[in-house]
Amino acid sequence: MSIVEILGVAASVSLLAGWRLYLCVFAVGLAMRTGWVPLPDHLMQLDILANPWVLGVAGLLALIEFAADKVMWIDSAWDAVHTLVRPVGGALLALAIVDPSKPEWQVIAVLLGGGASLLTHSAKAGTRAVVNASPEPVSNVVVSTGEDVATGGLLVLALANPIAAVVIALGIVGAAVAALVVLRRMLARLIGPKAKTG
């Protein structure tokens, strides 16, 4: 597997960890434990994720996150707490994916993995804050369920096909940047007129 493919897998997992860290840890661990997704040899460093204790904790936290993310305002509080957790988790997942014999790639993976997780986490948290402002509760559940399905499906695809992982990573980065630009414009419209008059 080429370094571009390895970095594509690392980037995809890190970007998806910005949405659902515990689901990423659980899914990668489950894939390794059961063999239902054939992981390349270089990913065998992730075998700690297949440990029953790690799977149990990650699965429990994924279920808690699944429930918390469906409830208006609780999801924003959960995201606030995870502003530090998700980037660190994404960086560590990226670190575990790259070749340990090449420290320069490990440093690059940590920097890009943490930044990627922070990017997608920021886009998710900002978007969810806007969705929470909606008066009806259904949109929150729909958006959260969409994130669950997208994370699971894209994660399986990225692990199964390293070429697809590169495309997935680029698509997620584009979507996250676009969401942040839209959120910035919305915020500028809300705050802009008030700031000029004061």
Q: How far apart are CA 49 and CA 97, in angstroms?
A: 12
46-80 CB burial, b ≥16 within 10 A, e <16: beebbeeebbeebbebbeebbeebbbbeebbebbe
Quote the radius of gyration of the chain (alpha carbons, Å): 17
Q: Please state the length of the chain.
A: 198
Q: How far apart are CA 170 and CA 140, in angstroms?
A: 26
Q: How far apart are CA 67 and CA 69, in angstroms?
A: 5
Q: How far apart are CA 88 and CA 111, in angstroms?
A: 10
User: pTM of the predicted model, to two decimals?
Assistant: 0.82
Structural domains counted in the chain? 1
Phi-psi region of 181 (alpha: psi -120 to 50; beta: other; left: phi over 0): alpha
Does residue 156 contact residue 37 with C-beta atoms inside 8 Å? Answer: yes
Question: Binning pLDDT at 50, 70 and 90, where does residue 39 land?
Answer: low
pLDDT one-digit tens code per residue, 156-173: 888 888 788 888 888 888
pLDDT one-digit tens code per residue, 43-97: 666 778 889 999 999 999 999 999 999 888 898 899 999 999 999 999 988 888 7
| Structural domain boundaries, residue 137 | 3-197
pLDDT one-digit tens code per residue, 142-154: 889 988 998 988 8
Query: 121 or 105, which is more confident?
Result: 121
